[in-house]
Copies of this chain bind each other. A is one copy, B any other.
Amino acid sequence: MSTLPLPADAVQLTRLPLERATQLPGAAFTDPAVLQWEIEELFQGGWICAGHVDQVNERGKFVMVEIGGESVFVVGDDQGVPRAFINSCRHRGSRIVDAPEGAVPRLQCPYHAWSYDFDGMLKNAPFTDELEEFEPGCFGLKPVRLAVIEGLVLIDLSGEAPSPAEHVGVLAEHLARYRTGELKRAQRITYEVEANWKAIAENYSECLHCPGVHPELNRLSHYMSGEEYTGPGAWCGGSMTLNENVETMAKDGGHLTRPPIAGIEGEALRDVLYFAIFPNCLISLHPDYAMLHTMWPDGPGRTRVECEWFFEPSTMEREDFDPSDAVNF
């Protein structure tokens, strides 16, 4: 992870080897001032994951995310290329889109009907002809830096973060192996967790708590199985191995009812990979599907989690396609 611009009085955090890990002070999980710093420096100060390209690869398809009072939307332009903008009309600041996701025929502000092209240029602004010094070319939607890596839609509100390839690092290879850029979304669920976003990420990243807290998960893959992956990039994670006679993660015992993702074969059919990409993205790669969580802090002790399931397009086209075993688990 790149060095972060920490507050002057902060203890310098360095990447300790796990064997020498220690605890953050409690305030790191409860103090609103710490969260405010995290919002400004981490969530608004570098790459965060806004979702998956499958929702923004057609003209007018969009997702909207909010972070620290800033609303941003990503929308497919006339060529179906994703673009990201600050979700605020340049006239009176109203929101252009007002739903977590969807599709719009055009970008038009509901307040005074200013409209914009899908590339953000101001197209029509009623009653501005007589204004002095009003240059429509200066009133396009404010663009936000965007990158798509293996299907993950990343945005950088600061505009100054290192390259997205550096951010994702070698994790991109694992994602590519599971074809995350080609998969299609089957379902999305939103829920609120009464916990700090870091606690959720930490909890996701270790399974030593599994035997006591998640016995049903422990029946499917042993909590000490698998290995930790390493390599460049702002991520951590690794594999777990499905128990014998288990073929996928489902409550009924886990028989694989879907073909695996193309290219996943042999030993890989017994692996589930879990990765956390700094700061707000958790992605798990199963033999037959991928699961993406994005985390959105609502306060030091409250986080909204968007959870999405992705499958092979050919699998989703099958008449008997049923993602419910993965979703319900």
Contacts and interface: CB of A to CB of B under 8 A. Distances in A.
Interface in A83-134: 88, 90-93, 110-113, 126-127, 130-133
Interface residues of A, number: 28
A20 interface: yes
A212 interface: yes
A226 to B, nearest CB: 15
Interface of A: 19-20, 23, 26, 29-30, 69, 88, 90-93, 110-113, 126-127, 130-133, 202, 208-209, 211-213
B23 A92 contact: yes
Given A19-B131, A112-B212, A133-B20, A30 B92 contact: no
15 contacts: A19-B131, A19-B132, A20-B132, A20-B133, A23-B90, A23-B91, A23-B92, A23-B93, A29-B93, A110-B212, A110-B213, A111-B212, A111-B213, A113-B212, A126-B208
A19 B130 contact: yes
Contacts of A20: 131-133
A76 to B, nearest CB: 25
Nearest to A28: B93
A212 B110 CA distance: 7
Contacts of A209: 111-112
Contact of A202 (B92, B127, B131, B208): B92
Nearest to A20: B132
Contacts of A213: 110-111
Nearest to A30: B69
Contacts of A90: 23
A205 to B, nearest CB: 12
Contacts of A19: 130-132
Contacts of A113: 211-212
A111 B211 CA distance: 10
A256 B111 CA distance: 31
Contacts of A132: 19-20
A91 B127 CA distance: 59
